[in-house]
Chains A and B, each alone.
Chain A
Amino acid sequence: MIKLLHRIFPHPHLSFLLTLVWVLLANNGSLNSLVFGLILGIIIPFITQPYWPDRPKLRNWPMVAEYMLVVLWDIVVANITVARIILFKRDDARQPNWICVPLELRTPEAITVLAGTITMTPGTVSCDLSAQGHNLLVHCLDAPDPEAVRDQIKQRYERRLKEIFE
């Protein structure tokens, strides 16, 4: 029974996500769109199965929720900070800077999420990965103290992602 379920839903999370996205796209919550979403949620993971040789395991669901809330809050706060920098700070008083963030994460998915988060929280944009993927290159809009930014990224985001993915 479990085996059969596993064959129908090789990626339960993906199936769930596809169904959810379809229902949201249809935007009416009728049984009609739910059924069609489920059909898509079964067919697409089944066809794309060979492209997913191994998938990341999410270990810590409460931490996922906490991470999303922290990121949303940071986006709001950092937006205001950056708006203030743009409006009120003279351009030559600003100190743009490259910083190098050494990564402890090794899962590609986790690094992707971290890089995306760094870009979405304004004031920092992740620009490049080092040749073997051990460091992340980040550009800061205004960083008088690059070490503090690096420590904040490691403390706030990487520590939580490490608990979620590894």
Chain B
Amino acid sequence: MTFLVELLIAAFLIMSGIFGFVGSFGMIKLKDPMSRLHAPTKATTLGVGGVLLASIAHSVLLEGKLSMHELLITLFLFLTAPITALFIAKWHIHRHEKPQDLPDAGEDELWATHAVEQVEDVPDHSTN
């Protein structure tokens, strides 16, 4: 029985290792910066998820006590990872993309990152 449990935990750990490796390998292999952004968002899902499942299984099945920290880690990751990705993406658009290179934004004409530069609502502090 203990052997089966250990096998299960090991399987989760190996799975997370593989996906973590693939995520990092993607950073080297992919050439353009926007595609590279896909790698870190991936390592946080199945890669970290595997470690967390292994940790839950270890504490419940081997130590015999329920541990719920892992659920919180998942929750916080799901909250923070998209925001980090959005910030990096916005930076990239701001510095490296022209409005005409992006797809048409429909009735709004511009994407928000570009719109900030155009609309003159930035207070001018140079005069006073």
Question: Does B bind A?
Answer: yes
Give residues in A with beta carbon < 8 Å to B: 21, 24-25, 27, 29, 75-76, 79, 82-83, 86-87, 91, 94, 96, 98-100, 102, 115-116, 119-120, 122-123, 125-135, 137, 139, 141
A53 to chain B, nearest CB (A): 22
B78 to chain A, nearest CB (A): 6
B113 to chain A, nearest CB (A): 5
The docked-state distance in angstroms from the alpha carbon of A10 to that of B72 is 24
Main SS class of interface, A? mixed
Chain A residues closer than 8 Å to B38, beta-carbon distance? 82, 122-123, 125, 139, 141
The docked-state distance in angstroms from the alpha carbon of A55 to that of B41 is 29
The docked-state distance in angstroms from the alpha carbon of A141 to that of B37 is 9
* B63 interface contact, C-beta 8 A: no
Q: Contact: B22 with A131, CB < 8 Å?
A: no
B46 to chain A, nearest CB (A): 4
Q: What 1/0 mask marks residues of chain B from 52 to 94 whose CB sits below 8 Å from any chain A CB?
A: 0000000000000011110110010011011001100110110
Q: A24-B68, A83-B22, A131-B108 are in contact. Are A126 and B113 (CB under 8 A)?
A: no
Q: A24-B72, A125-B41, A126-B86 are in contact. Are A86 and B22 (CB under 8 A)?
A: yes
Q: Contact: A115 with B82, CB < 8 Å?
A: yes
Q: Contact: A131 with B111, CB < 8 Å?
A: yes
Q: Contact: B90 with A128, CB < 8 Å?
A: yes
Chain B residues closer than 8 Å to A132, beta-carbon distance? 107-108
Q: Which of B85, B90, B107 contacts A134 (CB 8 A)?
A: B107
Q: Which of B37, B49, B102, B115 contacts A98 (CB 8 A)?
A: B102
Chain B residues closer than 8 Å to A125, beta-carbon distance? 34, 37-38, 41, 85, 89
Q: Contact: B106 with A134, CB < 8 Å?
A: yes
Q: Which of A94, A116, A128 contacts B93 (CB 8 A)?
A: A128
Q: Contact: A24 with B82, CB < 8 Å?
A: no
Chain B residues closer than 8 Å to A129, beta-carbon distance? 111-112
Q: Which residue of A lies closest to B42 (CB)?
A: A122
The docked-state distance in angstroms from the alpha carbon of A141 to that of B86 is 15
Q: Contact: B108 with A135, CB < 8 Å?
A: yes
Q: A98-B102, A119-B41, A126-B86 are in contact. Are A131 and B112 (CB under 8 A)?
A: yes
